[in-house]
Amino acid sequence: MNGARIVMEISVEGGNFPAAGEAASKVKKTLRQLGINSDLIRRVSIATYEAEMNIVIHAYRGKIILQVDEEEIRVIAEDIGKGIPDLNLAMMEGFSTASEKVREMGFGAGMGLPNIKKCTDELKIKTEINTGTTVLMSFNYAK
Ligand SMILES: Nc1ncnc2c1ncn2[C@@H]1O[C@H](COP(=O)(O)OP(=O)(O)OP(=O)(O)O)[C@@H](O)[C@H]1O
Ligand SMILES: [Mg+2]
């Protein structure tokens, strides 16, 4: 990486299903251009996609921030939204508050956050009711 620090910021719009996944695609493309190991790209892409979808499905709007430096890769998903009332419950496999309409589109299995947990080396979630949620995901190079 030669000391370079890459920072990218992509807006995500709540409810915009046609555009959903674009932020994760951009992140993936950038990491490919940087020559990052494909296994690591796979983990970052899955986690970013799930965090992006959670903004689309559960929040009003937000952004995905990518930070790449010599130590690690970080993806921050920040949104303005309802927040998560019970984080422990939300982290459980199968827990979802997704609407019937969203489930018909193939989402709402309650697997996004558990999947993010599996793909990240470090996960921090800050959430405030009626304000929003920030999901901070870190990925190590050596793995
Ligand atoms: N950014 C967010 N803002 C508000 N609530 C959220 C957010 N992300 C997750 N949640 C809450 O946590 C629950 C679990 O999230 P998770 O991503 O695991 O499942 P899901 O989005 O419901 O379904 P899936 O990810 O499998 O499509 C959601 O149903 C929702 O209630
Ligand atoms: Mg989800």
pLDDT tens, residue by residue, 15-41: 999 999 999 999 999 999 999 999 999
**For residue 22, is it within any domain?**
yes
In 14-93 the beta strands, taken as DSSP E runs, fall at 59-68, 72-81
**For residue 1, is it within any domain?**
no
**For residue 35, is it within any domain?**
yes
**CATH code of the domain containing 59:** 3.30.565.10
Phi, psi (deg, nearest 5) at residue 84: -115, 115
**For residue 49, is it within any domain?**
yes
Q: Tell me, what's the pLDDT at 21?
A: 97
**For residue 19, is it within any domain?**
yes
Q: How many CB atoms lie within 10 A of CB 63?
A: 16
Which residue range is the domain that position 63 belongs to? 6-140
Mutate to test the pocket of ligand 1, among 53, 58, 120 (most ligand atoms within 8 A of CB): 58
Largest CA distance in the chain: 49
DSSP state of 2: T
Helix (H, G, I), strand (E, B) or coil at 8: strand
Our count of domains for the chain comes to 1
Binding pocket residue ranges, ligand 1, CB within 6 Å: 50, 54-55, 57-59, 79, 81-84, 90, 95-98, 107-114, 133
Mutate to test the pocket of ligand 1, among 55, 105, 113, 133 (most ligand atoms within 8 A of CB): 113
**For residue 80, is it within any domain?**
yes
